[in-house]
């Protein structure tokens, strides 16, 4: 599977804040944030609810991937989706770096992917409490 996740009993905006805090606790920075819900609303006039894509990065891991195979930077950062289920529940879907970085087909990058997945699993576990 290419994702793993958790459902939070939190409204969307609160959940986004919790996710950012949990990422920071693992030394993962948010390097991109795309408000897909806002874009769809503005461009198409449709309300899909809260839907945000966060790009999380651990610079040391990213450096190792790029040093091993410069073009593999196209597979970075680790993306996750925060999406409203209803007014009181929000899903967080984490991209599985093991699945995605396997496209690079190098043992060095496979090691980094495993480390990145462990970091994201700890973020998920932090959110689960």
What gap in Å lies between CA 96 and CA 1, rounded to an integer?
8
Residue extents of the structural domains in the chain: 3-128
Per-residue confidence (pLDDT) for residue 49, from 0 to 100: 97
Per-residue confidence (pLDDT) for residue 66, from 0 to 100: 97
Per-residue confidence (pLDDT) for residue 91, from 0 to 100: 98
Per-residue confidence (pLDDT) for residue 95, from 0 to 100: 97
Give yes or no for a contact between 56 and 38, defined as CB atoms under 8 angstroms apart. Answer: no
Q: Collect the ranges in the chain with pLDDT lower than 50.
A: none
Rounded-to-5 percentages of helix, strand, coil across the chain: 55, 30, 20
Architecture of the domain defined by 3-128? 2-Layer Sandwich (3.30)
Per-residue confidence (pLDDT) for residue 1, from 0 to 100: 85
Structure tokens given for 123:
């973020």
Nearest alpha-carbon partner for 116 in 71, 64, 54, 51: 64
């Amino acid at each position: 599977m290419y994702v793993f996740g958790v459902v939070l009993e939190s409204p969307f905006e609160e959940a986004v804040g919790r996710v950012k805090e949990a990422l920071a606790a693992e030394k993962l920075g948010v390097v991109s944030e795309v408000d897909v819900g806002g874009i769809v609303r503005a461009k198409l006039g449709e309300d899909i609810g809260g839907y945000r894509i966060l790009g999380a990065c651990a610079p040391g891991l990213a450096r190792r991937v790029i040093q091993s195979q410069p073009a593999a930077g196209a597979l970075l950062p680790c993306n996750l989706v925060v999406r409203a289920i209803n007014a009181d529940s929000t899903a967080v879907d984490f991209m599985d770096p093991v699945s995605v970085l396997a496209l690079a087909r190098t043992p060095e990058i496979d090691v980094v992917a495993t480390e990145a997945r462990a970091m994201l699993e700890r973020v998920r576990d932090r959110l689960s409490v």
